[in-house]
Copies of this chain bind each other. A is one copy, B any other.
Amino acid sequence: MKLFEYQAKELFAEAGIPVPKGALVENEADCAAAIEKVGLPCVIKSQVLQGGRGKAGLIQLAETKEEALLKAHDLMVNRNVGKLLFEEALSKEKEIYIAVTIDPVDSSALIMASSEGGMEIEEVAVKMPDKIVKERVKMFRALSPFQVRNVMFGLGLKGEAFKQGATILPKMFELFKKFDAELVEINPLILTKDGRLVAADGKVSIDDNAGFRQKRFPITRDHFDSDVEYEAAVKGIPYLQFDGKIALMCAGAGLTNTVYDLINYYGGSVASYLEFGGPNYRRAAEAMDLTLRNKPAVVLIVTFGTIARADVMAQGIVDAIAQLKPSAPIITAIRGTGEEEAAAILKKTGLEPISDTEEAVKRAVELSKGGAR
């Protein structure tokens, strides 16, 4: 789960990593007080998870109070941004990129740093790979002081800035460990004209699988683009919403991705992606309820040899249909142990069991384009 910038900075501040003076605002009425608190000029930053906020106009600089209020109004009202972070504007001597992430091959923590802060690290990696300093920290080992020095010398820092950087990195590493992070990133880490290092932005991503021991930041509606995605996440059912016509209800992520591909190959479009394999096979009704929210033209159900018998899955789907009475046509390809019984069950409800996945996809695409049912 990605944290919002203000949450990341909350962690930074607690850990002792310098952050700009800031104030979080959820109501337009509080903007004036926020500006008062952080001073002028100030930066107004939309608290949304999407990348490229600057280019998208979601981060604004304001010189005067009036300008700040106007821009905040625009973001909150016209751009529909729920939370704004007001921050003091910093003077920039230098911008640094620094992050702690994971290296799944080496299974180590990977520190990446670059003196080209502000740029995306992927861009630096392509354009000037020499500018990236990498330092791997072995599992079971602590971050050693020599590794911190390697990074700071690699960034070309000197004197006071070296010392400050050498205290910031271990704190980032500590957060990485303590919060089961997949990423702790500061970009840019600004060296101000008066010689301070300050985390001007912050990205922290926490491993969803560690939710049982990382309870501080619960998922919220703000983390998702739609109500349904949020609801599905709360229910623990993998679900993604798109703007096409065919809703997928498949068992197994790999199979779902394959069906997604096939729909595109055959010129169809996907309305939603829902995976109800594994332990979710008993939750056909819940899954179908979510699936129908986006008003798909067709529902396509594909499974093959899950832990549940095919007939059990078929019965679950039949029950769900009886309960929810979907208006969209339903195409099924339910295979595996008990598939004959499954076919019989489906037929009884008027569904035609299809045994070949591509056949089922073709049928769904035709139907989604208004073909005969």
Contacts and interface: CB of A to CB of B under 8 A. Distances in A.
Interface of A, helix, strand, loop or mixed by DSSP:
loop
Nearest to A139: B140
A105 to B, nearest CB: 20
A71 to B, nearest CB: 50
Interface in A84-140: 140
A213 interface: no
A141 interface: yes
Contacts of A141: 140
A53 to B, nearest CB: 39
Interface string A57-91: 00000000000000000000000000000000000
A145 to B, nearest CB: 14
Contacts of A140: 140-141
A278 to B, nearest CB: 26
Interface in A133-166: 140-141
A108 to B, nearest CB: 13
A80 B140 CA distance: 49
Interface in A206-220: none
A141 B140 CA distance: 6
Nearest to A138: B140
A45 to B, nearest CB: 39
Interface string A285-311: 000000000000000000000000000
A116 to B, nearest CB: 34
A140 B143 CA distance: 12
A133 to B, nearest CB: 24
A141 B139 CA distance: 9
A141 B141 CA distance: 8
Nearest to A141: B140
A140 B140 CA distance: 5
A169 to B, nearest CB: 20
Nearest to A140: B140
A109 to B, nearest CB: 14
A58 to B, nearest CB: 42
A187 to B, nearest CB: 31
Nearest to A142: B140
A263 to B, nearest CB: 47
A140 B144 CA distance: 13
A178 to B, nearest CB: 14
A140 B137 CA distance: 12
A137 to B, nearest CB: 12
A149 to B, nearest CB: 20
Interface in A148-201: none
A50 to B, nearest CB: 38
A141 B138 CA distance: 12
A288 to B, nearest CB: 41
A15 to B, nearest CB: 21
A77 B13 CA distance: 58
A140 B141 CA distance: 6
A42 to B, nearest CB: 44
2 contacts: A140-B140, A140-B141
